[in-house]
Amino acid sequence: MVFIIFPKISREINKNVESVHLQFLTERFDLTIDKDKCVGCGVCSRICPKEAIVKKILDEPIRFKGKQIIKKIKHYLIPFVRDPNTCVYCGTCTYLCPFDALRLKVNNQVIEPDQLPIVQKKALPKLEYEIKKLESGKTAKVYTSGTITIDTNKCAGGCTNCAQACPTGAIKATVKGDPNDYNAEVLLEIFDDKCIFCGTCYHACPTSALTLIIDKVKYSGEYNDPFWPTIVEKLKLKKRV
């Protein structure tokens, strides 16, 4: 006799998509992460109510004069559900992901962000956002405003992680001299009109030279306390994931 124990939790990983599954007797929940859309901004990790999502390094970093410099930046900050038992499949991460990289499925049906039960029941308000087309051809959902600052005393010479990681082309890094020289001078420029304050550069910087400040989250309509105010606090939190 075979016994099946519910709920059954599993994980599926392939090159482009990672999924965690929660199977009950009559219901199934899936959270999927599209690695091609993800840029590593860290929003999902910061706002997850259960802190179920973390970041993992897929490409091994190198160390240069005692400091960690990521050369293969493309897969540096892919989100990862560390323990599927902690995820409650609320969909908050899918609602706030600026790059539409996360999706929630219920019984194999994709639930669009504005159709999530936590949105319908007003645990989350309506996001007031604009869709911005990026140089890569992708789009981003922009619903925050703020500032990015650079501490040049902490900035590591020869490192251009922030410019490599930025999905909007808002940071330009010019290396004077040999780019492999840790002492090489790097000139960083931030173009405010391109920045969407997603935080990708902030989390890619190995020396904490960049500071992300989110001063406004744009939303409207009713919402229930204390869930949404806590999410806003998490979104504004200066936390490297």
Strands 130-133 and 126-127: unpaired
Residue 127's beta-bridge partner residues?
219
Determine the straight-line distance between the first and last CA of the chain, rounded to whole angstroms.
Answer: 46
Q: Report if residue 86 sits inside a domain.
A: yes
Instruction: Note the pLDDT of residue 49.
Output: 92
Q: Report if residue 2 sits inside a domain.
A: no
Across 30-34, 147-151, 223-227, the highest mean pLDDT is recorded for 30-34
Across 4-18, 59-73, 176-190, 193-207, the highest mean pLDDT is recorded for 193-207
State yes or no: pLDDT of 135 exceeds 50: yes
SS (H, E, C) 116-171: CHHHHCCCCCEECCEEEECCCCCEEEECEEEEEEECCCCCCCCCCHHHHHCCCCCE
Cβ-based neighbour number of residue 84 at 10 Å: 16
Model confidence band, residue 94 (pLDDT cutoffs 50, 70, 90): very high
Least-confidence region, from 46-50, 134-138, 148-152, 188-192: 134-138
% the chain with pLDDT above 90? 41
Cis peptide bond prior to 7, omega within 30° of 0? yes
Q: Report if residue 1 sits inside a domain.
A: no
Q: Report if residue 118 sits inside a domain.
A: yes
Q: Report if residue 110 sits inside a domain.
A: yes
Task: Report, in angstroms and rounded to the nearest whole number, the Rg of the chain calculated over CA atoms.
Answer: 19
Mean pLDDT of 162-178: 86
Q: Report if residue 3 sits inside a domain.
A: no
Model confidence band, residue 74 (pLDDT cutoffs 50, 70, 90): very low
Q: Report if residue 241 sits inside a domain.
A: no
Name residues whose C-beta falls within 8 Å of residue 35's C-beta, 6 or more positions apart in sequence: 15, 16, 17, 18, 75, 78, 101
Q: What is the tens place of the pLDDT at every residue in 108-126? A: 999 999 999 999 999 999 9
Q: How many domains would you assign to the chain? A: 1
* Domain span holding position 161: 8-236
Collapsing DSSP to helix, strand or coil, 189 comes out as strand
Q: Report if residue 67 sits inside a domain.
A: yes
State yes or no: pLDDT of 65 exceeds 60: no
Instruction: Note the pLDDT of residue 56.
Output: 60
